[in-house]
Chain A
Amino acid sequence: MSAVTLDPAAAPPPPAFRRRSKLERTLSNAAFWRGLAGLLVFLLVWQAGGFLHTSLGIDVPFFSKLPAPTAVAAAASEVVVQSGYWMSWIESIKRVMIGFLIAQLIGIPFGLFLAVNKYFRDIFFPPFEILRPIPPLAWVPAALIFWPTNEMSIIFVTFLGAFFTIVINVLGGARTIDVRYLRAAQSMGATQWHLFSRIILPGTLPSIFTGAAVGMGITWNVVLAAEMVSGGGSQSGGGLGFFIWSSYMGGSMEHIIVGMISIGIAGYLSSALIRLLGERVMPWRRAF
């Protein structure tokens, strides 16, 4: 009777590879250099477009009114030393985070309840589905009237932006957990609570993180627009959206672009954060 054994002592020792550092691996990766080249070409074309207009008088559509990357960089170097600019960052991040976290706190349990309880789903899903297609920004006027402060209104629409996406992802994720996992757990004697905490919850985690990543993107969209709409009034709310809006009012194209790029960076950083968190919470996903 020969059973297959995996005795590590019996196996020959694995060949010793030197594990390269992350930087080393990045630098030797052709894709990294292609990406860098793409970025450079993009900046070069942008710069050339402006050059054609200012130096040769050739009018290139769109580029003529666009400040060159060098001009934007110059504006940025002035802006980054001003505390007002960083206050805009903090304001926007604060709003995004509060709205986003409340959306998670309410959205995840709500989605899970919808998934596991038929009666709950029958009652709450129809109104949810009617409210879901309404764009978050359509809520802005009503929110401004409804909430006592601008701040609360902005956070409310930010919350809405993430909430629906999160719920729909959690619901979908929990409902599509393979029935074999549930059956296997049940036949091994899992109680309802064990089914929920050990099977449904971890089984839904990938969808929770998908919802969070998409929701985070929407939250940035919404917060910016809400800041432009509501923060530009007398009781200035600040934030990156307001930064862009006031740059527009002041007629500074360079600053508008600095604001836009700031938002790009902020969005990228928040997605990276969620990705990182996801890898930590779901170690089994690293295998793929």
Chain B
Amino acid sequence: MQTQLNNPAGAPASKGAISIRNVTKVYDPDGAQVMAVDNCSMEIAPGEVCMIVGPSGCGKTTLLNAIAGFHSITGGEILLDGVPLCGAKKPLADQGSDRIVVFQNGALFPWKTLAENVAYGPMVQGRWPKAECIERARSALNEAGLGAVADKYPGEVSSGMARRAEIVRALINEPKVLLLDEPYRAMDALTKQIMHEALLEMYDRTKVTIYFITHDLEEAIFLGDRVYVMTTRPCRVKKVIDINLPRPRDYHTLTSEAFRLLVQEADEAVHEEAIKAFQAGEREMA
């Protein structure tokens, strides 16, 4: 069975470049203007794993929501492969299966089995006949090591399996960009490591552009090609770190000297913002 997740090995990705240019987002609840994102710019190459690190509530998710088309922006523009998604004329991007989000707490439909969940996208898009959608969903799950639980409901499998199935559900749509919003936040360290390896393996196969939000610095360095450290609210790019660790990576990477040096380099910037965010939080409480 030919599956749609496979790219010819090592073929350069030819799609999924995101340009975020001077994006600003001002929330205006009850006239009190709150700046969530301030003049943010990023150039994400096709097939790049772009990791966004910043303190909780700093506005990283706002940026993701703007790319996905869930929220509007108030300034700047965002382009996908040179085509504007949103900008001055059109503050809210259209939602589309070229950019798929994997949510923080998981959003598999509880009333569908894993196979039905994975088949959902192709089915509603009418890509293949229904039976073929299920068939392909099954083989995609198989490939991700989830073949044995394909007919289980999300409530019957572990959170790790559910999250992996959700990534399979996203990838079967052949998105240009995978948007991950702290997908492994609530997981224990051991499960997280397994999830990371599974994600890297899927990435090596598909070379999809990944926009990954986290506040776990080591996760960011382990997975990413480039790490953007963001400031606390309003969200700005504070520091960009290129990660030159060779791929494919596995857990041995975590103990390498190069990895340690990168963590050290990034840690100072992240820590500084964490303190600022913490103090700002205290002020809000007072």
Q: Is B125 positioned at the interface, with any CB of A under 8 Å from its CB?
A: yes
- What CA separation (Å) do A6 and B142 show in the bound complex? 9
B198 proximal to A (CB < 8 A): yes
CA distance A184 to B96 in the complex (A): 10
A178 within 8 A of B: yes
> In whole angstroms, how far apart are the Cα atoms of A188 and B68 in the complex?
11
When A3-B197, A198-B120 are in contact, do A188 and B173 touch as well, CB less than 8 Å? Answer: yes
User: Which of chain B's residues have a CB closer than 8 A to the CB of A6?
Assistant: 145-149
Q: Given the complex, which residues of B lie within 8 Å of A2, measured CB to CB?
A: 197, 250
- A-B contacts counted at CB < 8 A amount to 94
The proximity string for A residues 42-72 relative to B, scoring 1 for CB distances below 8 Å and 0 otherwise, is: 0000000000000000000000000000000
The CA-CA distance from A191 to B126 in the complex, in Å, is 11
**Which residues B175-211 have CB closer than 8 A to chain A?**
194, 197-198, 200-201, 204
Residues of B within 8 Å of A188, CB to CB, are 97, 100, 120-121, 124-125, 169, 173
Contact residues in A for B91 (Cβ distance below 8 Å): none
Contact between B110 and A1 (Cβ–Cβ < 8 Å)? Answer: no
Binding stretch for chain B, among A161-169, A222-230, A261-269, A280-288: A280-288
Complex CA distance for A224 and B248, rounded to whole angstroms = 72
Which bucket holds chain B's interface residue count?
35 or more
Q: Which of B95, B194, B198 has the most CB of A within 10 A?
A: B95
C-alpha spacing A1/B201, complex, angstroms:
8
Q: Which residues of A contact B101 (CB under 8 A)?
A: 183-184, 187
> Which range holds the interface residue count of chain A?
20 to 34
Min CB distance A284 to B, Å, is 4
Query: Is A189 touching B121 in the complex (CB atoms < 8 A)?
Result: yes
Task: Flag if B111 contacts A203 (CB, 8 Å).
Answer: yes
Judge if B153 is at the interface, Cβ distance under 8 Å.
yes
A105 at the binding interface (Cβ < 8 Å): no
Which of A178, A189, A283 has the most chain B CB atoms inside 10 A of its CB?
A189
Let me know if B95 and A186 touch, CB within 8 A.
yes
For the complex of A and B, list the 5 residue pairs with the smallest distance between their C-beta atoms, beginning with the closest.
Answer: A188-B121, A180-B107, A287-B155, A202-B111, A284-B153
Residues of A within 8 A of B (CB): 1-8, 178, 180-181, 183-191, 194, 198-199, 202-203, 205, 282-284, 287-288
